[in-house]
Amino acid sequence: MDENIHPALPWPGFTPERSFVLPLQAALMATPFGGACLIDGVELGRKSEFHVTVLGQDMSRAAAGLGEARLRALYESQQWTPRRTGRYALLHQAKPAGTGMLECWSLIEHLDLPAMLAFRGELARVLGDAFVDPVPHVTHYVRGDPNGIGVPDIRALQALKVRDVSP
C-alpha cells in the first residue's frame, strides 16, 4: 500500500461538546524530520496521536442542530481517504495562559481530502459561511500547547503561518 494514502475512515461518531475529528494511524505518519525537529531555532516535539479536525468545537455545536443522523448520512456520502502531500507549514500563535502568553508552535502537513471540502461545503450551504474554506491538515510537531494550534479555515492559516517548510 502507498504509505501516503490512508485507508477510508469510518464514521467516528459525533458529539457537539467536542471537536469532530478523524483519527489517523500513527504507523502511517512518518516524516522526514525525525523524533523532534528544529526549525528557525525553535525545537518542536513529535506528537504521538494524529487526527484531522473536520469541525472544531464551535462548529460541532452549530452542526449539532442538523442532527446526528443527517450529519452521518452526509459524512457517509463522501469517500474519506486522506492523502498525504508532503507539504509542510510552520505555524505560530501566542495563546493566553494564566497572567501571560504561551508561545505555541506547530508543524502541520497539508492533506488532500476532497471529502472534507465537500462535507464542509454542504454545511456552509445549509448553516452559513463559517464552514467554508477548510484546511485539511495533520499536526506532526508542537511546542507550547500539546494540542497544537487550531486552523479552522484558510484565513486562520494565513494569519498563523510563519512559512512553508521543506523536508
Q: What is the DSSP letter of 153?
A: S
Q: Is 15 contained in some domain?
A: no
Query: pTM higher than 0.85, yes or no?
Result: yes
Q: Is 4 contained in some domain?
A: no
Segment among 6-10, 20-24, 130-134, 156-160 with least mean pLDDT: 6-10
The Cα-based distances of 80 to 3, 15, 26, 85, 161 in angstroms read 16, 19, 17, 15, 26
Number of domains composing the chain: 1
Residue ranges making up the domain that contains 60? 20-165
Amino acid at 50: F
CA distance 106 to 97: 17
Confidence of residue 1 (pLDDT cuts 50, 70, 90): very low
Which has the closest alpha carbon to 107: 45, 53, 29?
Answer: 45
**C-beta of residue 50 within 8 angstroms of C-beta of residue 23:** yes
- How big is the CA angle at 40 (ends 37 and 41), to the nearest 5 degrees? 75
pLDDT, residue 3, reads 53
Q: Is 78 contained in some domain?
A: yes
CB neighbours of residue 22 within 10 Å:
22
Q: How many helices (H) and strands (E) does the chain have?
A: 4, 8
Q: Is 12 contained in some domain?
A: no
Q: Is 2 contained in some domain?
A: no
CA distance 112 to 91: 19
In this predicted structure, the answer to whether residue 135 has a pLDDT above a threshold of 50 is yes
pLDDT in tens, 65-120: 999 999 999 999 999 999 999 999 999 999 998 899 999 999 999 999 999 999 99
Q: Is 14 contained in some domain?
A: no
